[in-house]
């Protein structure tokens, strides 16, 4: 048998998963309830209510998919894509490509437009494409962790609404860290993850969607043999059912509503964790929480630049919760990361595809977005670089970050 697991304590500064809130971990160790226990179904209702507030929406539907973030993307896309539907994806990093991968598998005719990694689209460019292609669905990433960029969405959403396209947004990296205004930005469906700015372990994907999406979903509704009533059997579908059973939002709606029609067995402990995680977000308050994320980002950037490092994607559309750093010439980025992890227990991230070996990605998300974490990260990175004889300004980074913190002891409460 394998040896018992003795956990190491890490400082996790990747763009996810990040450190889980201690209160969330405590909630997850609570003894479980049965899935149809009224105490449990009332938790399900509470989670829906709190999720609506985090998504800034009045949508009825707001609940988690039981799977990691991309399970939420797939649940929404496969429930609304009919084979042959035109789907437009503006791609500005790896997770835009993921949207095309999923849409293609469900038979969509996928149209992409690309901009250079490290930049975002002018909304007008995307609007032009929407008007030209007239897609059934436009799907966009909000916070692209592969490049550390944040795509402005409101004008694109408005255009989709005018054109009758459904607007689907991957808010996995942004929810809980910066505004995701589902209603105000005309987003028809938004998908989040737990392991980033919500600081809940990976394993659930909160989603929300409006009546426009619900209508598409309901037209494909099918109740399973074995639990369907005679009435269900009589109900004629106009369209073939959704391609996936697990991700079928029409079935999930019956489970997340008073009918409580058995679909899966809700992931009890994950739901406890999600409930506590969202509660912490709402207790802190959205505005204060977003301000805190901006504040620690400033300290981190100041420190990195004082060290002499340059930032990748350092512009107005930078994602506040992910800071990408250009790896200096002739430096083995992975060796630096490994030294940081092995000697300091500090984890930062490598990167994907065309950026592999070119940038490090440092997250300041949720519970990991704390003063001591930023200071530890700067210390460890500086030490690792010096240990590899990389020419940097020694001793400046932490001092610069401290200045930011000492200058602003008042403004931010929970920092």
Q: Between vectors from CA 98 to CA 66 and to CA 239, what angle results, nearest 5°?
A: 65
For a second copy, the closer of residues 353 and 395 by Cβ is 353
Cβ neighbours, 10 Å, residue 229:
10
To the nearest whole angstrom, how small is the minimum distance from the Cβ of residue 96 to a second copy? 8
Reply yes or no: is the peptide bond before residue 128 cis, omega within 30 of 0: no
54 phi/psi in degrees, rounded to 5? -70, -35
Tokens of 154: 């409101």
Q: Least separation, in Å, of the C-beta of 414 and a second copy?
A: 16
Please compute, for residue 328, the number of CA atoms within 13 A of its CA located in the half-sphere on the CB side: 18
Shortest reach from residue 343's CB to a second copy, in Å: 13
Q: How many residues are given for the chain?
A: 415
Number of helices (H), then strands (E), belonging to the chain: the values are: 14, 14
Closest listed residue to residue 392, CA positions, set 314, 298, 310, 316: 310
Kindly state the DSSP code that residue 365 receives in the 8-state scheme.
-
2 versus 406: smaller Cβ distance to a second copy = 2
Cα–Cα distance measured from residue 118 to residue 125, given in angstroms and rounded to the nearest whole number: 17
Nearer to a second copy, 26 or 315 (CB): 26
Say whether 105 counts as a known binding-site residue: no
Minimum CB separation of residue 352 from a second copy in Å reads 5
Determine the angle formed by the axes of helices 397-407 and 286-306, rounding to 10 degrees. 150
Minimum CB distance to a second copy smaller for 247 or for 295: 247
Nearest partner of 313 among 276, 359, 257, judged by Cα: 359
β-bridge pairing 346-347 and 11-12: parallel
Q: How many CB atoms lie within 10 A of CB 323?
A: 27
Nearer to a second copy, 123 or 206 (CB): 206
Are 62 and 51 within 8 A, CB to CB? yes
The dihedrals phi and psi of 411, each to the nearest 5 degrees, come to: -40, -45
Shortest separation between residue 246's beta carbon and a second copy, angstroms: 5
Q: Which residue has the tokens 């809130």?
A: 21
Which two three-digit tokens encode residue 233? Answer: 């059997």
Alpha helices in 317-407 (DSSP H): 333-339, 371-387, 397-407
Give me the least distance between CB of 252 and a second copy, in Å please: 12
Angle at 204 (CA atoms; ends 200, 206), nearest 5 degrees: 95
> Based on CB atoms, which residue is closest to a second copy, 123 or 203?
203
Least distance in angstroms from the C-beta of 168 to a second copy: 15
Task: State which residue, 225 or 238, has the beta carbon closest to a second copy.
Answer: 225
CB of 296 to a second copy, least distance (A): 19
CB 91 within 8 A of CB 227: no
Q: Which of 8/287 has CB closer to a second copy? A: 8
Residue nearer to a second copy on the CB measure, 95 or 186: 95
Nearest-approach distance from CB 71 to a second copy, in angstroms: 5
In degrees rounded to 5, what are phi and psi of residue 78? Answer: -70, -25
Annotated binding-site residues for substrate read: 361
């Amino acid at each position: 048998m394998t040896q018992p697991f003795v956990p190491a304590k890490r400082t996790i500064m990747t763009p996810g998963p990040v450190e889980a809130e201690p209160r969330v971990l405590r909630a997850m160790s609570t003894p479980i309830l049965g899935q149809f226990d009224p105490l449990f179904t009332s938790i399900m209702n509470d989670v829906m209510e709190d999720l609506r507030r985090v998504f800034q929406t009045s949508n009825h539907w707001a609940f988690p998919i039981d799977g990691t973030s991309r399970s939420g993307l797939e649940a929404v896309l496969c429930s609304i894509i009919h084979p042959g539907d035109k789907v437009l994806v503006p791609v500005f990093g790896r997770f835009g490509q993921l949207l095309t991968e999923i849409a293609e598998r469900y038979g969509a005719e996928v149209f992409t437009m690309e901009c250079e990694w490290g930049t975002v689209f002018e909304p007008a460019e995307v609007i032009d494409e929407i008007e030209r292609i007239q897609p059934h669905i436009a799907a966009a990433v909000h916070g692209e962790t592969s490049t550390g960029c944040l795509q402005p969405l409101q004008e694109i959403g408005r255009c989709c609404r005018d054109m009758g396209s459904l607007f689907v947004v991957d808010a996995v990296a942004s929810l809980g860290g910066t505004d995701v205004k589902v209603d105000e930005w005309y987003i028809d469906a938004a998908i989040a993850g737990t392991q980033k700015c919500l600081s809940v372990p990976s394993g659930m994907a909160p989603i929300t969607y409006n009546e426009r999406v619900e209508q598409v979903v309901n037209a494909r509704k099918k109740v399973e043999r074995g639990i369907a009533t005679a009435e269900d059997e009589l109900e004629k579908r106009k369209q073939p059912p959704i391609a996936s059973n697990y991700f079928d939002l029409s079935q999930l709606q019956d489970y997340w509503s008073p009918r409580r029609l058995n679909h899966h067995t809700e992931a009890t402990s994950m739901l406890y964790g999600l409930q506590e995680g969202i509660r912490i977000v709402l207790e802190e308050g959205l505005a204060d929480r977003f301000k805190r994320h901006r504040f620690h980002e400033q300290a981190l950037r100041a420190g990195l630049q004082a060290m002499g490092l340059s930032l990748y994607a350092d512009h107005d559309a930078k994602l506040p919760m992910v800071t990408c750093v250009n790896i200096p010439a002739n430096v083995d980025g992975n060796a630096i990361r490994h030294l940081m992890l092995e000697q300091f227990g500090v984890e930062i991230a490598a990167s994907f595809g065309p950026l592999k070996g070119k940038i490090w990605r440092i997250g300041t998300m949720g519970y990991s977005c704390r003063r001591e974490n930023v200071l530890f990260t700067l210390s460890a990175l500086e030490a690792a670089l010096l240990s590899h004889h990389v020419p940097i300004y020694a001793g400046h980074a932490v001092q610069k970050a401290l200045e930011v913190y000492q200058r602003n002891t008042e403004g931010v409460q929970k920092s």
